Amino acid sequence: MTKNATAQSLNEQFGIPETLRFEDPGQGMPRAVITADAATAVIYLHGAHIAEYQPTGDKPVLFMSPKSNIHPDKPIRGGIPICFPWFGPNQHDPTAPPHGQARLAAWQLTQATKLPDQRVQLTLTRDIAPFRLTFTITVGQELQMQLRTENTTNQPAQFEQALHTYFTISKIHDIEITGLAGLSYIDKTRNAERLTQANPPLRFEGETDRVYINHPGHCTLHDPGYKRNIVIEKHNANSTIVWNPWTDKSLKLPDLGDDDWPGFVCIESGNVADNAITLAPSEAHEMTATLRPQPQA
């Protein structure tokens, strides 16, 4: 068991020389520092939270708010929060944490491996009744994530999930997202009105908060300023959520700088709203998401 593990105990049990070490920046929040041939990454056991991912020779892929909390009782603003077992506010309990407990929980590290192809793979687990979560992260030229959810009870159980990925970008006004044309989406800036995505690529002109439903495929972030595209490929994840708070919403987020909003966009892979999942007793579900940075031709 590595519950409430310390950086020291983690290094003793899982450290890999010149590849994987653990440190505790304070608040009892140990994090893995991964140095693979093809990329570096930082992962907190708190929330199994991927905070940093940077392919060798490229810019960082993930945005981290300079004002983020790093505290056992607070979510991290940036990287890849795991939203589970609900997305957004809890429909039944307004006092419950938005996006569920998973991103606030201390996860246990169960394996850390340098694969034959030099990628580095970590597996973390956490029970969130009535589910057992297993999150497997593989760091290489691509960032691969697999989230397994098992219903550990003898009753059916429903959940929502999302990998709430914050991408660092050159400028929100200059990027576009392809792969969403024709999809239905819930527009949370228009009182959850249901609309259809027009054909041209999605561009940003104001606060954007959209849940694209029935979208099993992938989409691509095009960033001419960074001369980079990032393909977001997913399997068993039928929702894509796109979010940028723009100016006014940013002012209401104390853990986000007032001027940070042009520098990130969230493109999230999961199963939310109409795509929520119900597991039969003892049934399990696995969703995967892969982030594939590519230089723009």
- Interface residues toward ligand TA6, by CB under 6 A: 75, 88, 98-99, 164, 188, 209, 241, 243, 266, 268
The radius of gyration computed from the CA coordinates of the chain, to the nearest angstrom, equals 18
Pick between residue 68 and residue 121 the one whose CB is nearest to ligand TA6. Answer: 68
Question: Is the peptide bond between 85 and the residue preceding it cis, with omega within 30 degrees of 0?
Answer: yes
Smallest gap from Cβ 144 to ligand TA6, in A, equals: 21
Smallest gap from Cβ 237 to ligand TA6, in A, equals: 14
Smallest gap from Cβ 192 to ligand TA6, in A, equals: 11
Smallest gap from Cβ 98 to ligand TA6, in A, equals: 4
Measured distance CA(136)–CA(143) in Å, rounded: 11
Pick between residue 134 and residue 239 the one whose CB is nearest to ligand TA6. Answer: 239
Smallest gap from Cβ 150 to ligand TA6, in A, equals: 25
Question: Is the peptide bond between 130 and the residue preceding it cis, with omega within 30 degrees of 0?
Answer: yes
Pick between residue 75 and residue 262 the one whose CB is nearest to ligand TA6. Answer: 75
Residue of this chain nearest to ligand TA6 (CB atom): 243
